[in-house]
Structure 1
Amino acid sequence: MIKEYLDNVRSYLKDLPTDEREELLQFYEEQMLDAGYSIQEIEEKYGTPKQFARSLKIEYFIENDEVADDMVPRSTRTKNRMNLVWLVILGLFASPILIPVAIGLIGILIAAVIGFLGILFGIYVGIIGVLAGGLIAFVNGVILLWQSVATGIFYIGAGLLLTGAVIFFAPIVWRITRWLFEMLVTFIKWIGNRYLIKNNVKGAR
Structure 2
Amino acid sequence: MIKEYLDNVRSYLKDLPTDEREELLQFYEEQMLDAGYSIQDIEEKYGTPKQFARSLKIEYFIENDEVADDTVPRSTRTKNRMNLVWLVVLGLFASPFLIPIAIGVIGILISAIILFLGILFSIYVGIIGVLAGGLIAFVNGVILLWQSVATGVFYIGAGLLLTGAVIFFAPIVWRVTRWLFEMLVTFIKWVGNRYLSKNNVKGAH
Q: TM-score range by the shorter chain?
A: over 0.9
Say what the alpha-carbon RMSD is for the aligned residues. 0.9
Residue 108 (structure 1) aligns with: 108
Whole-angstrom CA distance in 2 between matches of 1:59 and 1:202: 16
Cα displacement (A) at 1:203: 3.6
Cα 1:95–1:78 change in 2 (3 A) is same
Fraction of identical pairs, as percent: 93
Cα displacement (A) at 1:33: 0.3
Whole-angstrom CA distance in 1 between matches of 2:156 and 2:204: 67
Cα displacement (A) at 1:20: 0.5
SS in 2 for 1:203: coil
Residue 192 (structure 1) aligns with: 192
Cα displacement (A) at 1:68: 0.4
CA contact (8 A) 1:51 1:203 kept: no
CA contact (8 A) 2:9 2:49 kept: yes
Specify every segment of 5 or more residues in structure 2 that has no aligned partner in the other structure, as ranges. Answer: none
CA contact (8 A) 2:141 2:152 kept: yes
Cα displacement (A) at 1:96: 1.1
CA contact (8 A) 1:94 1:203 kept: no
Query: CA deviation digits over 1:16-37, x for unaligned, max 9?
Result: 0111101100000000001101
CA contact (8 A) 1:96 1:204 kept: yes
Query: CA deviation digits over 1:95-140, x for unaligned, max 9?
Result: 2111110010000010111111111111111111100000000000
Specify every segment of 5 or more residues in structure 1 that has no aligned partner in the other structure, as ranges. Answer: none
Runs of 4+ with >3 A deviation: none
Cα displacement (A) at 1:198: 5.9
Query: CA deviation digits over 1:133-163, x for unaligned, max 9?
Result: 0000000000010111111000000000000
Cα displacement (A) at 1:90: 1.2
Matching of residues 154-173 of structure 1 within 5 Å: 154-173=154-173
CA contact (8 A) 1:136 1:159 kept: yes
TM-score w.r.t. structure 2 length? 0.98
CA contact (8 A) 1:65 1:77 kept: yes
CA contact (8 A) 2:137 2:155 kept: yes
TM-score w.r.t. structure 1 length? 0.98
CA contact (8 A) 1:91 1:203 kept: no
Cα displacement (A) at 1:184: 0.1
Aligned length: 205
Whole-angstrom CA distance in 2 between matches of 1:54 and 1:198: 8
SS in 1 for 2:157: helix
